[in-house]
A and B are shown apart, each in its own frame.
Chain A
Amino acid sequence: MPVELVDPVEWSKIRETIDDEFGPGTTQGLRGNLAPVVIRSEQSNSYYLIPMVWMKQLEIQLQDFEVRSIGIWLGDRVKEQFRVGLPVIEKLGRLTRNRIIVSRRGAESFTYGRSILKESLVKIPNGLRRGQKVVVYNEEGDCLGLASLTVDYDRVDRLQPDRLVAKNLTDIGLYIRYY
């Protein structure tokens, strides 16, 4: 399974997706001076960022080995949907204003894979819309994962404490739940 450089057309699609969700320039911020590469399989395309100098090393003969990860995992595209990978979410959080903070109890339950209720929401920036992806933090400033808002910012105040505000997309609890 070869590792290929991502061609410019494919890359611009990924950039559009990430920048649409998290703000212009986010993708470039994530990429820095790394090279985007892709490993294709039947089920998905996995994208990674690697130092340019590795490209030469990657001319290696891989017939006896399967590449399972390389450099920084940027995300996967399954069918037509691109999803950012867990390892880049922390950096993503530093590049976007789409960030919410949850209470201690909210953080615990979020890292068990659960979604976020109004009562655990501590802070949300104004103007965010339903469906928008947000990076989730606890009150200590630790990055916990990614969620998608289920209500517009304007409506949050009116919600009952037990109502859903954001759906869990991925969280660091996966490191013990999944792997």
Chain B
Amino acid sequence: MREKAKAIAKKHGYLPYMIERYLSLWGEEETLQFIDACERPIRTAIRVNTLRTSIDETIARLDKKGVNLERVPWLEEGFYAEFANVSSGALFEHLLGFYYVQGIPSMSVVRTLDPKPGEIVFDLAAAPGGKTTHIAQLMNNEGMLIAIEQDKKRVSTLVGNIHRCGVTNTLVLRGDAKKISTLEIVPDRILLDAPCSGEGLIPIDPTRKTSKTMADIRYCATKQDELLEAAISSLRPGGTIVYSTCSIAPEENEIVIDDLLSKHPEVKIVPIGLEFGVPAYTKPYGLMLDESIALARRFLPHIHGLEGFFICKMVKEE
């Protein structure tokens, strides 16, 4: 397998360790389908921001400007969008916060979290704010959303997006989300859209074929473990947490979750509640993981024509 992985990696410009893992996960045929899909562009998508205006008005205005929209079956506010001759960020409607340019998997993450008006919600790795602004939208700006981001520059972008989108129920904190327990606030829901190696983004960023090593993936996994641990300990008993990454690496997803489940018997995976993606893996690389992990979902470039993503919804039992 090693030799085969090397040959495929060389031919398609990947690092061999990546292909070795894909062969083990999917076999040769599916690996080649994945590689092929990563060469095709991902369709642009937008989320209509109903904090600013209605879906119908945004559709009508974008239609007038020649933007072609196509609905996403499981996302009322999500659309594939073809911006014929203009940049998606340059239209007035964008500046006015009528929409957010965002991947379909990212929108699906927040729909999975299903935040409600009046709740206290934490968004632990928030910048640039695609998911923060979506959470506020589903909360109808009611309740309190606490968005945490460590990076100084990225936190500015987060604040800009919050203002642009008319979000008013949010407290933005710069700092390390691992320290949330010091806040002594007990949230009803938590989103941990964890920092990751980005292995799902190869179709968008081809440099990812060679830019990260196995050590980088392990480093991310450690960070993800720590962030999840902090999240679970601050979550209200009975509360919901969604863990997501834009990585297809089981090391950053299923294995991280399996570890969490073994340390926290009070945490249970629950169904996503929406029809999308494929079940997450319970036997990656021949490991035997907790069967309930199959309730989590994956988006994969070669199956869904979208960037790779992992989404897992859990509750902390009372």
Write the residues of chain A forming the contact surface with B, with a CB cutoff of 8 angstroms: 54, 57, 60-73, 85-87, 107, 111, 138, 142, 172-176, 178-179
Contact = CB atoms under 8 A, between A and B. Distances in A.
B183 A179 contact: no
Contacts of B183: 60-62, 65
Interface residues of B, number: 34
Contacts, number: 84
Given A67-B171, A71-B171, 20 more contacts: A57-B185, A60-B184, A61-B184, A65-B148, A65-B175, A66-B173, A68-B158, A69-B170, A70-B172, A73-B163, A86-B163, A87-B166, A107-B92, A172-B96, A173-B95, A174-B160, A175-B95, A175-B163, A176-B94, A176-B95
Contacts of B185: 57, 60
Interface of B: 89-90, 92, 94-97, 144, 148, 155-164, 166, 168-176, 179, 182-185
Contact of A179 (B144, B156, B176): B156
12 contacts: A54-B171, A57-B144, A61-B182, A65-B183, A66-B175, A68-B155, A69-B163, A71-B171, A87-B163, A111-B95, A175-B160, A179-B160
A111 B96 CA distance: 11
Contact of A175 (B158, B164, B168, B179): B164
Contacts of A172: 95-96, 164
A69 B162 contact: yes
A178 B175 CA distance: 22
Contacts of A71: 168-171
Nearest to B170: A69
B174 A178 contact: no
A63 B73 CA distance: 44
B179 A69 contact: no
A31 B157 CA distance: 26
Contact of B179 (A57, A60, A65, A111): A65
A50 to B, nearest CB: 9
